[in-house]
Amino acid sequence: MARIEPAETLFLAPLSRPAPGSAGRTGTWRVVKPVVDLDKCTGCMLCWLYCPENTILKTGEGKVRIDYEYCKGCGVCANVCPFHAIEMVVEG
Ligand code: SF4
Ligand code: SF4
């Protein structure tokens, strides 16, 4: 078996991401949802990097949009956004 050097481990770790919607379809039970203010969003993709469900998608305009069918409303994206461009809104 090939020996994995620590540096390689660090490099490979971020490449392990969940499939979109690993928690299943969430639209029926989610209680809050993230809403992106596109005027504030700079397209830095930090939210994409941290989303545990891989449900943040890059748009053609260099911004992001949420896949509400699978987003579970955890709020991680809103917490990590350095520009406060994501607000968690109660489902109505
Ligand atoms: S972290 Fe904030 S500014 Fe960066 S892409 Fe996501 S919503 Fe946009
Ligand atoms: S609330 Fe944000 S971080 Fe959590 S699953 Fe939805 S898009 Fe991803």
**For the chain, which residues make up each domain, given as ranges?**
32-92
Q: What is the pLDDT along the chain (92 residues), one digit of tens a residue?
A: 555 555 444 444 455 566 666 667 876 788 999 999 999 999 999 999 999 999 999 999 999 999 999 999 999 999 999 999 999 999 98
pTM of the model: 0.80
Judge if the beta carbon of residue 75 lies within 6 A of ligand 2: yes
CA–CA separation, 36 and 88 (whole Å): 9
Architecture of the structural domain at 32-92: 2-Layer Sandwich (3.30)
Residue 66 forms beta bridges with which residues?
56
Give the Å distance between the CA of 82 and the centre of ligand 2. Answer: 15
Cα radius of gyration rounded to whole Å, the chain: 15
What number of residues does the chain have?
92
Which helix (H) or strand (E) segment holds residue 56: the answer is strand 56-58
Which helix (H) or strand (E) segment holds residue 46: the answer is helix 46-50
